[in-house]
């Protein structure tokens, strides 16, 4: 699946690059909020008494981030983006968060009222999974909390549209899906994320 996605996206970028002169034509950037339903495989934890329990991440995630892209020719944009996303899950409100970012490449097609884009981000991310295995009393008594951190390489294919609001502002809708390229774990949260934000395009870009 991942190899197929990579092949398609690379073919799109190569086609868009070779079909035009790669003249720099400005940049665009903005901020986005996002949400989506994510879930993981079942995973086990072991507390300080040696007791094991099984958990599964499944809930709505929410997050924030931004993007900066430079346009070359009429169809190619290359840039950077980064986001942070977190979700609460389980009986005792455990939490899972991921911060990721990297280089992006996208093909886009512009019309009079909107533009449409298809691309991918290649980079990495850091995951923090905090598992609460018993009720939190909030009365200075210690609750059993287990935490693990790990990093992974990430590819995030995406697609979306930009609706022209003014000469400089665009309302942006985007959807993506994160694939771990390395170090996939049982508590990896998978699922589509949907983004909404505003892109700023300076005059002349």
Helix (H/G/I), strand (E/B), else coil: 82: strand
Domain boundaries, the chain: 2-200
Q: Which of 45-49, 126-130, 135-139 has the highest mean pLDDT?
A: 126-130
- CATH fold of the domain at 2-200: Porin (2.40.160)
Mind listing the pLDDT tens digit for each residue in 140-179? 665 678 899 999 999 999 999 999 999 899 999 999 999 9
Q: Residue 53: what pLDDT?
A: 87
For 149, counting Cβ atoms within 10 Å of its Cβ (0-12 exposed, 13-18 middle, 19+ buried), the class is: exposed
pLDDT of residue 139 exceeding 70:
no
Which letter, b or e, does each residue of 106-126 get, where b requires 16 or more Cβ atoms within 10 Å of its Cβ? bbbeeeeeebebbbbbebbbe
- Chain centroid, CA 37 distance in Å: 13
| Residue 52's pLDDT band (cuts 50, 70, 90) | confident
Mind listing the pLDDT tens digit for each residue in 66-90? 999 999 988 899 999 999 999 999 9
Average pLDDT over residues 110-135: 92
5 vs 89 pLDDT, higher one: 89
């Amino acid at each position: 699946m991942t190899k197929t996605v990579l092949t398609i996206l690379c073919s799109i970028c190569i086609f868009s690059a070779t079909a035009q002169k790669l003249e720099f034509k400005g940049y665009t950037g903005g901020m986005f909020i996002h949400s989506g339903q994510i879930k993981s495989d079942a995973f086990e934890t072991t507390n300080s008494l040696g007791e094991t329990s099984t958990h599964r991440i499944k809930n709505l995630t929410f997050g924030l981030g931004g993007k900066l892209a430079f346009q070359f020719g009429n169809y190619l944009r290359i840039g950077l983006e980064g986001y942070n996303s977190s979700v609460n899950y389980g009986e005792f409100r455990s939490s899972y968060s991921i911060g990721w970012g990297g280089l992006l490449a996208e093909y886009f097609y512009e019309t009079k009222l909107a533009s449409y884009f298809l691309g991918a981000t290649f980079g990495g991310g850091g995951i923090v999974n905090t598992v609460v295995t018993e009720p939190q009393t909030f009365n200075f008594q210690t609750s059993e909390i287990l935490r693990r951190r790990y990093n992974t390489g990430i590819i995030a294919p995406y697609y979306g549209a930009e609706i022209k609001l003014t000469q400089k502002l665009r309302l942006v809708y985007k959807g993506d899906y994160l694939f771990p390229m390395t170090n996939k774990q049982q508590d990896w949260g998978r699922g589509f994320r949907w983004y909404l934000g505003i892109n700023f395009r300076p005059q002349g870009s």
